[in-house]
Amino acid sequence: TQLLEQSPQFLSIQEGENLTVYCNSSSVFSSLQWYRQEPGEGPVLLVTVVTGGEVKKLKRLTFQFGDARKDSSLHITAAQPGDTGLYLCAGSLSGSARQLTFGSGTQLTVLP
């Protein structure tokens, strides 16, 4: 059983559409991170959220940390083909980078 459940597992949309992906857990995390990974490459950190209820924006990407710090969402507005990739959430139970727990990811494909 995954400590962090991501949904959907796969998502294919047309350019210009909006989408939301989710990261859920029954555990409380000190912090939660979102990464994007492209084929044949390592994950690249997009954002870290620390405070319950926190919302962070990165251009067309909006990240939210649940009030109880058990879940998070990533919303993309007007998706572009360049957004295609594997989106991973990762939680830290201890507040430390060591032993980040990763979800299994959402594979996003944005069709032109």
Give residues with Cβ within 8 angstroms of 74, minimum separation 6. 20, 21, 23, 34, 61, 62, 63, 87, 89
How many residues lie near other proteins (CB under 8 A)? Answer: 26
Q: For other proteins, which is the closer residue by CB, 77 or 94?
A: 94
Residues in contact with other proteins, shown as a per-residue x/- string from 43 to 82 under the rule CB under 8 A? xxx--x----------------------------------
50 and 63 in contact (C-beta within 8 Å)? no
State how far the Cα of 57 lies from the Cα of 24, in Å rounded to an integer: 20
Q: Which stretch binds other proteins (CB under 8 A): 13-21, 37-45, 57-65, 75-83?
A: 37-45
The CB-of-98 to other proteins minimum distance in angstroms stands at 5
Pairing of strands 44-49, 101-102: unpaired
Binding site for other proteins (CB under 8 A): 2, 4, 9, 30-31, 40-45, 48, 88, 90, 92, 95-105
